[in-house]
């Protein structure tokens, strides 16, 4: 058990979220025993990403170029800007195929208890982005959790004061709340049904 480099590897693996000492051992043994190529590939990928991946200058998502692929794509609809909490949320929206505008990635949500204020979230950068003179609508695609709601409220206030093209105020919208696709009403929670009733169309 007691080799120092093996122990360093197990300690380092434990810094990954959701990995305890048993999983870290299992990962280290697996790589050493069955997949040294994979281990070397992971070491290289980690080193390269930690060194080169920064934030996109326009939308704040992770990118190893100054502008990310989405922001570099001139064929998208510049009138729409969708605000999401994380690159994973952005990826989910992309996969849905229902959106062709640009994004702004907050990289978090307001959480005063964890020390995340409007400053840490880079709300200033979002304001600057929304003032580019082409954005007409900002879609807040934030989580429907307490923290997501607070974030949406604060952003709605700040963005509502901005004037878009033709001196019209920016339109600030949120995702629809309602019954998920493919679900039976009987098993949908009451708060969702109440929202779906209010927003019926």
Which residues are bridge partners to 83 per DSSP?
A: 104, 140
| Alpha-carbon distances of 86 from 24, 82, 133, 148, 170, rounded to whole Å | 26, 12, 25, 12, 23
CB of 151 or CB of 164, closer to a second copy: 151
Environment class of residue 127 by beta-carbon count within 10 Å: exposed (0-12), middle (13-18) or buried (19+)? middle
Binding mask 53-92 for a second copy (x = CB under 8 A): x-------xxxxx--xxx---------------xxx-xx-
Number of residues that bind a second copy (CB under 8 A): 58
Residue 114 binding a second copy, by CB under 8 A: no
Environment class of residue 58 by beta-carbon count within 10 Å: exposed (0-12), middle (13-18) or buried (19+)? buried
CB 140 within 8 A of CB 156: yes
Residue 115 binding a second copy, by CB under 8 A: no
We find the least distance from the C-beta atom of residue 28 to a second copy, in angstroms, to be 7
> Tokens 């493919």 sit at which residue?
182
Select the span of 23-31, 133-141, 142-150, 190-198 touching a second copy (CB under 8 A).
Answer: 23-31
Query: Which residue blocks in the chain are alpha helix, DSSP H?
Result: 4-13, 21-34, 36-52, 69-72, 87-96, 123-130, 146-160, 190-198
Select the span of 11-19, 114-122, 160-168, 185-193 touching a second copy (CB under 8 A).
Answer: 11-19
Select the span of 26-34, 131-139, 146-154, 178-186 touching a second copy (CB under 8 A).
Answer: 26-34
Binding site for a second copy (CB under 8 A): 1-6, 8-9, 11-13, 15-18, 23, 25-33, 35-36, 38-50, 52-53, 61-65, 68-70, 86-88, 90-91, 94, 107-108
């Amino acid at each position: 058990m007691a080799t120092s480099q093996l122990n360093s590897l197990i300690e380092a693996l434990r810094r990954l979220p959701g990995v305890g000492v048993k999983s870290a051992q299992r990962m280290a043994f697996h790589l050493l025993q069955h997949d040294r190529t994979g281990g070397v590939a992971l070491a290289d990928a980690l080193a390269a990403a930690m060194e080169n991946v920064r934030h996109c200058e326009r939308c704040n998502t992770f990118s190893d170029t100054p502008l990310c692929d989405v922001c570099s794509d001139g064929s998208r609809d510049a009138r729409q800007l969708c605000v999401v909490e994380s690159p994973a949320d952005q990826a989910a929206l992309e996969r849905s195929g229902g959106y062709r505008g640009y994004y702004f990635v907050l990289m978090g949500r307001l959480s005063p208890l964890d020390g995340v204020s409007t400053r840490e979230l880079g709300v200033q950068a979002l304001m600057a982005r929304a003032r580019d003179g082409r954005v007409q609508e900002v879609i807040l695609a934030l989580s429907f959790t307490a923290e997501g709601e607070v974030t949406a409220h604060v952003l709605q206030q700040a963005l509502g004061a901005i004037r878009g093209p033709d001196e019209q105020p920016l339109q600030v919208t949120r995702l629809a709340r309602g019954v998920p696709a493919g679900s039976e009403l009987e098993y949908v929670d009451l708060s969702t049904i109440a929202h779906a009733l209010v927003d019926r169309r």
